[in-house]
């Protein structure tokens, strides 16, 4: 153990205890966790920082648990506190001490203007001992204190002063908040998590245009963040978000991949995880097409049948949203969208520096650009809404992942059925186009706010004449859609056709229909989980 340091070559040269192979040895910190600043007036400081950063505070509270006085060396202290996210992931902690003795720029941390640097460390006791050996003055001579309450319960914290009186905080994360991103783990850390819960989250995203105000990676960003937060509760690790997905909008810069490639990626990822000891796998898509979700669910169940003891759960967060909205009277369109109010709110809660609402038309009466579907983000998006939806989804996902670890099965389609039933209430509207066998068509329009996936068409008659479905085709030529005709006979839960808000798909009949009114009988499958019957008189113009 070293007891002092000597100055050589313009810097401090630590003696033998902290040198490995002739170089200074790292002390086990992976970066700054937060920067704390003591302020004279919390509301005044919040007004400045929220305005300057363009971000709402995470939360504002009063810190007063007994451990606080022990950590700070100030028994009975109470602090008005607020927390604001700085760019890059560091948190700004604003502290207004309820203390009569406050003088600016003095060592003690209750004085306005005082700043402390907090280092996130692997072992608070070892880091504290090293700091003391290097000359730091500990506030609490007994070493780090374990927090006994609050969101960081179980963490270990210590305050020290450097030779100039600058306050240093050593912060050892509690077990439930430690790093769980697979790519950042050591072998020992990975094995520890496997022993705790052999659970892996596989976030599936896209590189898809999300309007001018959001980045291409929205789906992966949100799925990954949801996975990380759920893993803190359920245990397990989180893989990096992939960008292999099907069903992307045909818009600027978007990359979309074949179902065959996505299926193989999912299969081999599960197989590799199983080989490495994982027995529960969550395939969480941030990209919402139901045909992709049916593919992920099927692949998961097929792998369960092949690999003994494996449990899987394939889903999109819209399913969690449908489940957590059970019983809520608001049937508005804000449940799920594409670059609208909901996705924008999620991004405001998760990665606000990448949200640029100023790039949308300033006049709220002007329509939103192509690629933005759902509630106008200029009117309904907020970090608070995003945080509310995210928190509800995290809680439910963690509970279900825990059931997988326990060997239980999670129904893969129950929430999809609930979603279709609750949030696709409006019947599709039918209209006709008269013409010969090449020109006659039935137009299937979506009046609802949520996109509809057509996954099957089993019966269609026009004035009693049966339409030859084996030769009929569907096409959606709306800008942003592929415009590629799809044979009706090939429709399935994994190969459907989307009809979004205010769009119409054209069902080309392959038989002549005269102008006028005709009785249409139609059976449609929606979302791969529901059937709708239509029997109505339709005008053909």
Element (H or E) spanning 6, and its range?
Answer: strand 5-8
Per-residue pLDDT at 12: 42
**How far apart are alpha carbons 508 and 1 in whole angstroms?**
83
Model-wide pTM > 0.85: no
- For every residue of 194-248, DSSP letters joined together read HHH--EEEEEE--B---TTTS-TTHHHHHHHHHHHHHHHHH--EEPPPB---S--
Whether the Cβ atoms of residue 218 and residue 254 lie closer than 8 Å to each other:
no
The full set of domain ranges for the chain reads 5-177, 182-422, 426-540
**How far apart are alpha carbons 171 and 290 in whole angstroms?**
43
- Per-residue pLDDT of the chain in tens (541 residues, 90 and over written 9): 222 333 343 344 444 556 555 555 566 777 788 988 888 899 988 888 887 778 889 889 999 999 999 999 999 999 999 999 887 788 989 999 999 888 876 778 888 878 888 888 889 999 899 889 888 899 999 999 999 988 889 999 999 988 778 898 999 999 878 899 999 999 999 999 999 999 999 999 999 999 999 999 999 999 999 999 999 999 999 999 999 999 898 899 999 999 999 999 999 999 999 999 999 999 999 998 899 999 999 999 999 999 999 999 999 988 887 777 643 344 344 456 789 988 999 999 999 889 999 999 989 889 888 889 888 899 889 998 889 889 999 999 999 999 999 999 999 899 999 888 888 888 999 999 999 999 999 999 999 878 899 999 999 999 999 999 988 999 999 887 888 999 999 999 999 999 988 899 999 999 999 999 999 999 999 999 999 999 999 999 9
CATH superfamily of 5-177: 2,3-Dihydroxybiphenyl 1,2-Dioxygenase, domain 1 (3.10.180.10)
Question: Using N-to-C axis directions, what is the helix angle for 218-234 and 317-324, rounded to 10°?
Answer: 60
Element (H or E) spanning 401, and its range?
Answer: helix 383-405
Maximum distance among all alpha carbons in the chain? 98
Three-class SS of residue 382? coil
Instruction: From the options 3.40.50.620, 3.40.720.10, 3.40.50.10310, 3.90.550.10, give the CATH code of 182-422.
Output: 3.40.50.10310
CA distances from 462 to 40, 442, 467 (A): 77, 10, 7
CB-neighbour burial class of residue 471 (10 A; exposed 0-12, middle 13-18, buried 19+): middle
Three-class SS of residue 338? strand
Residue 306: beta bridge partners? none
Question: Using N-to-C axis directions, what is the helix angle for 317-324 and 414-423, rounded to 10°?
Answer: 70
Instruction: From the options 2.60.40, 3.40.630, 2.60.120, 1.10.1070, give the CATH code of 426-540.
Output: 2.60.40
Alpha-carbon dihedral 479, 480, 485, 488, rounded to 10 degrees: -110
**DSSP character for 531?**
E
**How far apart are alpha carbons 423 and 386 in whole angstroms?**
19
CB-based burial, 221-252: b 16+ in 10 Å, e otherwise:
bbbbbbbbbbbbebbbbbbebbbbbbbbbebe
């Amino acid at each position: 153990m070293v007891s002092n340091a000597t100055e050589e070559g313009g810097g401090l040269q630590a003696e033998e205890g902290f040198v490995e192979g002739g170089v200074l040895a790292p002390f086990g910190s992976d970066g700054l966790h937060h920067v704390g600043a003591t302020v004279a007036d919390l509301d005044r400081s919040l007004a400045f920082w929220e305005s300057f950063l363009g971000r709402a505070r995470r939360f504002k509270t009063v810190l007063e648990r007994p451990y606080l006085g022990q950590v700070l060396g100030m028994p009975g202290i109470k602090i008005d506190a607020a927390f604001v996210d700085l760019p890059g992931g560091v948190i700004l902690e604003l502290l207004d001490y309820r203390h009569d003795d406050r003088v600016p720029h003095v060592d003690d941390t209750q004085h306005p203007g005082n700043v402390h640097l907090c280092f996130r460390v692997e072992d608070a006791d070892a880091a504290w001992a090293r700091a003391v050996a290097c000359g730091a003055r500990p506030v609490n001579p007994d070493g780090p204190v374990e927090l006994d309450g609050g969101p960081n319960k179980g963490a270990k914290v210590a305050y020290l002063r450097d030779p100039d009186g600058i306050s240093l905080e050593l912060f050892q994360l509690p077990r439930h908040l430690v790093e769980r991103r697979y790519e950042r783990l050591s072998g020992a850390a990975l094995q520890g998590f496997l022993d705790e819960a052999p659970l892996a989250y596989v976030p599936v995203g896209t590189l898809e245009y999300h309007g001018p105000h959001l980045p291409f990676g929205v789906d992966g960003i949100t799925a990954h963040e949801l996975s990380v937060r759920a893993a803190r509760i359920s245990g397990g690790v989180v893989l990096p978000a992939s960008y292999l997905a099907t069903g992307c909008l045909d818009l600027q810069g978007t990359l979309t991949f074949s179902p065959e490639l996505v299926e193989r990626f999912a299969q081999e990822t599960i197989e590799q995880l199983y080989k490495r000891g994982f027995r529960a796998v969550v395939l969480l898509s941030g990209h919402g097409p139901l045909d992709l979700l049916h593919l992920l669910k099927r692949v998961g169940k097929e792998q369960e049948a092949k690999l003994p003891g494996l449990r899987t759960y394939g889903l999109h967060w819209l399913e969690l949203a449908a489940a957590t909205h059970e019983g809520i009277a608001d049937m508005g369109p804000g449940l799920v969208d594409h670059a609208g109010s909901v996705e924008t709110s999620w991004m405001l809660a998760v990665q606000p520096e990448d949200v640029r609402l100023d790039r949308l038309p300033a006049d709220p009466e002007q329509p939103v650009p192509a690629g933005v579907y759902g509630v106008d983000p200029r009117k309904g998006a907020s970090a608070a809404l995003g945080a509310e939806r995210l928190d509800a989804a995290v809680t439910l996902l963690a509970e279900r992942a825990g059931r997988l670890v326990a060997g239980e099965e999670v129904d893969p389609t129950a929430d999809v059925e609930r979603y279709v039933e609750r949030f696709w209430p409006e019947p599709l509207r039918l209209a006709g186009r008269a013409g010969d066998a090449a020109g006659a068509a039935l137009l299937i329009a979506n009046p609802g706010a949520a996109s509809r996936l057509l996954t099957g068409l089993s019966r269609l008659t026009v004035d009693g004449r049966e339409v030859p479905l084996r030769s009929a085709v569907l096409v959606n030529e709306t800008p942003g859609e592929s415009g590629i005709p799809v044979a009706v006979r090939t429709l399935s839960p994994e190969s459907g056709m989307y009809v979004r808000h205010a769009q119409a798909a054209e069902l080309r009949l392959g038989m002549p229909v005269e102008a006028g009114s005709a009785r249409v009988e139609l059976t449609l499958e929606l979302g791969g989980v529901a059937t709708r019957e239509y029997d109505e008189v339709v005008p053909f113009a």
